[in-house]
Amino acid sequence: MSIVPHIVGVLVLLLGVIVSVGLHELGHMIPAKKFGVRVSQYFVGFGPTLWSRTKGETEYGIKAIPLGGYVRLIGMMPPAPAGTRRGTGFWNELVADARDASVAEVRPGEEHRAFYNLSTPKKLIVMFGGPFMNLVIATVLIGVVLVGYGTMAVSTTVAQLSECVPASVTSAASGEDCEGQPAAPAAAAGLEPGDEIVAFGGTEVHSWQQLVGLINESAGRASEVAVLRDGERVTLAVTPARADRPVVDEQGAAVLGDGGEPVVQPGGFVGFSPLQVRESQPFSSVLPAIGEQTWQTATMVATLPVRVADAATQAFTSEERAQDSVQSVVGVARISGEIMALDEAILDRVMIYLSLLASLNIALFVFNMIPFLPLDGGHLVNALYEGGKRTLARVRGAAVLPGPADVARMTPVAYVVFLILLGVGGVLIVADLVDPVRIT
């Protein structure tokens, strides 16, 4: 198998990630500049600088490792409160050094342009701008997939006929399966592949689920079925056989019980399988889809320790790696390569890529909303804490409002979170290399 499609798939995904990260950082930078904060750097990537150009007071550039990015907002940490003495010990030195480095970036006379002097609402807008941009990207991509491309749906058009009433009605039956079995009502009535069923038993049919219900209600009773054949309406007579039918969901997939066997219920059997078609979804379906996927991602993040442990266990034991296992960037890149190598139409693969990129942007949104530094959610929590203190002071009638929150004191938390994320990433990378999740 050629490795070229895999390489192309990884490069396409990499480009999508770079664009997503770049737009995320723009979501921070644009409102920051609007509010007067000096932005000294805007970079996509980490590590050695590949290219940079200074325009105005901001240096724009690309770095060698395209797995992130950053904007440097001047004055993220305020000076130490008056009377604060420099503490001793590793953590106190860490806090003091972080505070001094932030203060040193503020030019004399530009204290009013420091991030820490923004009002609470402006801080929230700046810090939420990045994750919000990822949510916008995901919404646009999901909209293209659902509205512009559509999803597979079960139609009321005949795709395949059964020759008889089989012992099991989970699939079409023919040949040896039909020995000693009665003829299928659909074939006996003269239904043909390509017929679109538009009415059953005098009721106009608009969906597959409705048709299944009408067939089940008519078991053992002769009924008229109207079909469109070559543009003409043709009426046939069919008597659905009594049979246990599998319970299906809205997409026409069989509902499985606890033991993995299809759930069945008494009903009628006509003897044809429906044609699956691609249907464009309304714009109103986009936001619910985003909401559902965001909730699923948030649930995954909330249970991340358990999922990482499961991934490690599955990778280093005989247990099979689950399809929904949490993955690192290495695993996602591998899946991207597999998508490009699929034997599918190019448009289908493009839509799979857009769905994957939308999922990554939702993951970036949820991940950045974790309320700990150095993530955006940590800055949002600090801004809310600062705003809460000032609001309380106003209610109490204080003559002087509290100053900016001493964010530097959270530096140890930021380092611990960074080390945890580094460890989690390392475990998942090893798991993805040893026992990757496969889509084929």
Contact 163, 178 (CB under 8 A): yes
Catalytic residue among 25, 163, 338, 386: 25
25 is catalytic: yes
- Those residues with Cβ within 8 angstroms of residue 110's Cβ, 6 or more apart along the chain or in another chain: 38, 74
Rounded to whole angstroms, the Cα distance separating 401 from 393 reads 6
Rounded to whole angstroms, the Cα distance separating 436 from 421 reads 20
One-letter amino acid of 128: F
- Report the catalytic residues: 25
